[in-house]
C-alpha cells in the first residue's frame, strides 16, 4: 500500500471522528482500500422504549462503514449516499456493534457498497447496501480531513 493511500485513510478516519455527531455515538473506525470497520459501544442512550438499540444506530454504523469503504477509493471529494437499504435482524441490548463495509461494485460515476453489523458474539444483527456518488465538496482540513 502506498504512503499516499495510508495518509488518505488516516485523514478519513480523523474526519469521521471529528464529526460532531460522533461525540454522541463514540465510534471507532479503521479504513483500508475498499473496506471500513466501525465499532460502536452499546449504551442505554441508544435504546428505544422497549430496551434495545434503536434502528437509527444500526443504520448509522452500516451506512458509515459502507460510505467510508467507498470514500477510501475517492481521494479528492466527499462522496454522497444516494440510496441505502437497511435490514435489522436481531435486537441488541449490550456490548459493541461492529460493522464491516465493503465496496462490491465500482463504476465510472457510482459505487455500490454493502455492510454487515454483528454483536459481540459475531452474530449478524443487521445488514445494508447502498449506492454512492461523488459530490462537489473537496476533502479539506475544514471538514476534518487532516
**Per-residue pLDDT tens for 2-26?**
666 999 999 999 999 999 999 999 9
In whole angstroms, what separates CA 28 from the centre of its chain? 10
CATH of domain 3-143: 3.10.129.10
**Per-residue pLDDT tens for 26-42?**
999 999 999 999 999 99
pLDDT per residue of the chain (146 residues) written in tens, 0 to 9:
566 699 999 999 999 999 999 999 999 999 999 999 999 999 999 999 999 999 999 999 999 999 999 999 999 999 999 999 999 999 999 999 999 999 999 998 999 999 999 999 999 999 999 999 999 999 999 999 99
Amino acid at each position: 500500500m502506498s504512503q499516499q493511500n495510508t495518509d488518505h485513510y488516516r485523514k478519513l478516519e480523523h474526519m469521521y471522528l471529528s464529526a460532531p455527531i460522533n461525540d454522541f455515538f463514540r465510534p471507532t473506525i479503521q479504513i483500508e482500500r475498499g473496506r471500513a470497520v466501525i465499532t460502536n459501544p452499546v449504551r442505554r442512550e441508544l435504546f428505544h422504549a422497549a430496551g434495545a438499540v434503536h434502528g437509527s444506530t444500526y443504520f448509522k454504523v452500516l451506512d458509515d462503514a459502507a460510505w467510508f469503504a467507498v470514500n477510501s477509493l475517492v481521494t479528492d471529494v466527499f462522496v454522497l449516499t444516494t440510496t441505502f437499504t437497511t435490514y435489522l435482524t436481531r435486537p441488541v441490548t449490550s456490548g459493541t456493534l461492529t460493522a464491516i463495509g465493503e465496496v462490491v461494485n465500482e463504476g465510472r460515476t457510482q459505487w455500490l457498497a454493502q455492510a454487515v453489523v454483528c454483536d459481540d458474539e459475531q452474530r449478524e444483527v443487521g445488514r445494508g447496501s447502498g449506492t454512492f456518488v461523488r459530490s462537489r465538496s473537496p476533502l479539506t482540513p475544514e471538514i476534518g480531513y487532516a
